[in-house]
Chains A and B, each alone.
Chain A
Amino acid sequence: MSTTSLLVIAILILATLGYFLASKRAISTAGGDRRKLHSLPVYYGSNAAMFTAIPALGVLLIWLLAQPMLVERNVLSTIPDKLITEGSSIGLVMSDVRRVADGLEVVVSTGTLSQNETLKLDTEQTDIRALLAGVGAAVGSDVLPEMLEVAQNYRAQTKMGQLWMVLSIAPLALIGFALSVLAAKPTFRARNTVERGILALLVLAASLAILTTICIVFSMLFESINFFKLHPWTDFFFGGSWAPNFRGDSDLSILPLLWGTIYISIIALIVAVPVGLFAAIYLSEYAGPRVRAFAKPLLEILAGIPTIVYGLFALVTVGPALVRVFGRGEEGLLGVEWMSGATAVLTAGLVMGIMLIPFVSSLSDDIINAVPQSLRDGSLGLGATPSETIRQVVLPAALPGIVGAVLLAASRAIGETMIVVLGAGAIAKFSANPLEAMTTITTRIVSQLTGDTDFASPETLVAFALGLTLFVLTLGLNVIALYIVRKYREQYD
């Protein structure tokens, strides 16, 4: 068992011990009378466990993240130039060093050699590559003496780091343990302390979500910057053609893709907004409780279908059906030859619209229900019919919220991938004909990053620039939508 896991177990045992000792001590210092305690004994116990475990575990976590980086930096400077051969880089050598060092640790832990024996290893006498291969650690080339030296250095530093880790964290846990157990007296406000701890936990959870978003943006941003170093940004944003060519010299412009994305999204919204809104009006204003109890979950099931299934629906049902109507010349229903293949803007747009219906209807339903009943009563009391009431009072009152719902649906449409991969085709072009195949930003990201990819070529890196643009687009839509929805909520509070 490794040092780290032993340390964690020790801390947890100490924390449990602290829990029982502190709650017992609290009761005994109160002379066995619980009513004299400021908080319930449970709180004294939790407080002790919290102060024993959390600082120690927190420092441990940071240590585990920081130590490999520091060790690596120290070792990196000791790598002799001789190891860095033609076609290699310092990064590759470093990963070899790590592999050798880790392999030697495995050799020790399996008992093939003792700790001292591994330290005295010599490339002249032992075939280290074979030794490592014996325990399942594959090294790319024969281990040179310099390489072994660096690896031993790496091991020594790691060992030293681990020693310091135990030496600093164990006292930290013990201090927390001792202080919190000693603090367990009737006057100590353990309840308040524990609740502050819970508050800290909640804040941590909230900031993690935000931090993740920031990290996503940064990871995309750095790759996008790499892309713009290789490819002119003017061509990306203002060029007119998309023709990636893996031998280089590609046209990588977002505009044709953006056009496809927006075109398909608009068709999807034309389908989804009226149908979803009408469904929401029926469900919230006309449907009886029995219909509602039945229809609402049914609509929400639609929202739970994976989008790839919608994609299949587009591919095998909607596409061919559209071809039967608009294509096949004399054999088709209209006798025209407007549509040649099943993949088209209309196919993807229709199916995406169907996907968005429950999204729009469920959001709009909530918003319409939030309109106070007193407004409906007021309108009905003036002799308006239910339909007049909905058109002239309920919908205008709910309008900002509905606009917000539509914008949220739009941002989902723009980011949708699987339906367009299967339904829209792969041809990037500017065309107003909805029966032609077109492609979107998301499908191009998929195709640029699947298969053999070289993360140094603009043809691959363009995916990150596309992703970032998409992210900014949908983020902007979401921000506007949330702003509108929030503003609308204030109206009735």
Chain B
Amino acid sequence: MNDKNIMESHMGTTAIKISARDVQVYYGDNHAIKDVSIDIEDKTVTAFIGPSGCGKSTFLRCLNRMNDTIDICKVTGSIRIDDEDIYDRRVDPVQLRAKVGMVFQKPNPFPKSIYDNVAYGPRIHGLAQNKADLDDIVERALRRGAIWNEVKDRLQSPGIGLSGGQQQRLCIARAVATEPEVLLMDEPCSALDPIATAQVEELIDELRQSFSVVIVTHSMQQAARVSQKTAFFHLGNMVEYGETGQIFTTPQDPRTESYITGRIG
């Protein structure tokens, strides 16, 4: 009991990184996200869980304005990162995405060498002064992506030639290389086998040291393993949000309980 209080007070001191208020998302006539308000903490892994089509991926894509690339999508409400409204007219979505990195469901390495895949972001944003600097950035990113040892001898071979799990870690390294502050992960393990999944989960736990990580997942075990906070989405609403342990042991909302115990979803 005492332990829990200490932990909670410790978590309470963590700064709020992303703060969303009354977010609505429409795909044409379809009201995909309804009234979602959430505070996502820095240096924390936050998991979004919920049945398919509940809007968790849609909401995730609002956080770096990837929904802008879909013509019929309309977002209202306010989403603030470091107290700056990211849907403000003055915010360049391109700059925003450099700050809020994203890892996708299916590993999507570019048809380039492993080195060029990782160097892609730093090159675009001019992060490296010279070649040696870039080499350094690439090595650091690959190390943080926990894949350096496997690829250090073949940096010039194509990224597509790696295995699925390696490809996904390469994509994480690629996202990390641009030094983002937030890392969004959209079901990063759904295309991977259990071993690769375990590697990626371990990696997510390490990334928490430096970033605020938001992960969408279908696997409740995964959410329980990697996250500190969990939000449960259902039919476009955010039903419940809280400490992961609390959500999985004593959910407040009957819908959350039904989902976790396997009655809906």
Contacts and interface: CB of A to CB of B under 8 A. Distances in A.
Contacts of B121: 382-384
B216 interface: no
Interface stretch (A84-92, A160-168, A372-380, A413-421): A372-380
22 contacts: A374-B106, A375-B108, A375-B110, A377-B66, A378-B104, A378-B108, A380-B66, A381-B101, A381-B104, A382-B97, A382-B175, A383-B95, A383-B96, A383-B99, A383-B121, A384-B94, A393-B111, A393-B120, A396-B111, A397-B110, A491-B111, A491-B160
A378 B110 contact: yes
Contact of A383 (B69, B104, B110, B178): B178
Interface in A357-413: 372, 374-385, 388, 392-393, 396-397
B102 interface: yes
B81 to A, nearest CB: 14
Contacts of A383: 94-99, 121, 124-125, 178
A380 B97 contact: yes
Contacts of A388: 124
Interface string B202-241: 0000000000000000000000000000000000000000
A451 interface: no
A377 B104 contact: yes
Interface residues of B, number: 28
Given A382-B124, A382-B174, A383-B124, A372 B101 contact: no
A289 interface: yes
Contacts of B171: 378
A377 B120 CA distance: 14
B64 interface: yes
A377 B108 CA distance: 9
B71 interface: yes
A481 B106 CA distance: 31
A291 to B, nearest CB: 12
Interface string B114-125: 000000110011
Contacts of A392: 110, 120, 124
Nearest to B174: A382
Pairs of residues from A and B, 5 with the lowest C-beta to C-beta distance, nearest first: A383-B98, A381-B102, A374-B108, A383-B97, A382-B121
A295 B95 CA distance: 32
Given A375-B111, A378-B171, A382-B98, 13 more contacts: A374-B104, A380-B97, A381-B101, A382-B174, A383-B95, A383-B97, A383-B121, A383-B125, A384-B120, A384-B124, A388-B124, A393-B111, A396-B110
Nearest to A400: B111
B143 interface: no
Contacts of A377: 66, 69, 102, 104, 108
Nearest to B110: A393
Contact of B175 (A288, A380, A381, A393): A381
B152 interface: no
Contacts of A381: 64, 66, 97, 101-102, 104, 175
B112 interface: yes
A111 B263 CA distance: 93
- Categorize the interface residue count of chain A: 20 to 34
Interface in B70-111: 71, 94-99, 101-102, 104, 106, 108-111
Nearest to A378: B108
Interface in A208-226: none
Contacts of B106: 374
- Say what secondary structure dominates the interface of chain B: helix
Interface of B: 64, 66, 69, 71, 94-99, 101-102, 104, 106, 108-112, 120-121, 124-125, 160, 171, 174-175, 178
A372 B106 CA distance: 11
Nearest to B124: A384
Interface in A263-295: 288-289
Highest count of chain A CB atoms <10 Å: which of B96, B102, B111, B125: B111
A397 B97 CA distance: 22
Nearest to A383: B98
Contacts of B178: 382-383
B223 to A, nearest CB: 22
Contacts of B120: 379, 382, 384, 392-393
Contacts of B160: 491
Contacts of A289: 71
A485 to B, nearest CB: 16
A388 B126 CA distance: 13
Nearest to B98: A383
Contacts of A491: 111, 160
Contacts of A396: 110-112
A385 B175 CA distance: 15
Nearest to A491: B111
A385 B108 contact: no
Contact of B69 (A378, A380, A397): A380
A384 B109 CA distance: 15
A467 to B, nearest CB: 40
Given A384-B94, A384-B124, A388-B124, A379 B110 contact: yes
A404 to B, nearest CB: 16
B71 A288 contact: yes
A379 B109 CA distance: 10
Highest count of chain A CB atoms <10 Å: which of B71, B101, B124: B124
A489 to B, nearest CB: 13
A384 B126 CA distance: 12
B156 to A, nearest CB: 15
A103 B117 CA distance: 81
A380 B109 CA distance: 13
B258 to A, nearest CB: 33
A388 B121 CA distance: 11
A492 to B, nearest CB: 9
A120 to B, nearest CB: 85
A396 to B, nearest CB: 6
A341 B109 CA distance: 55
Contacts of A379: 110, 120
Contacts of A374: 104, 106, 108
Nearest to B116: A392
Interface in A281-313: 288-289
Nearest to B125: A383
A33 to B, nearest CB: 47
A382 B108 contact: no
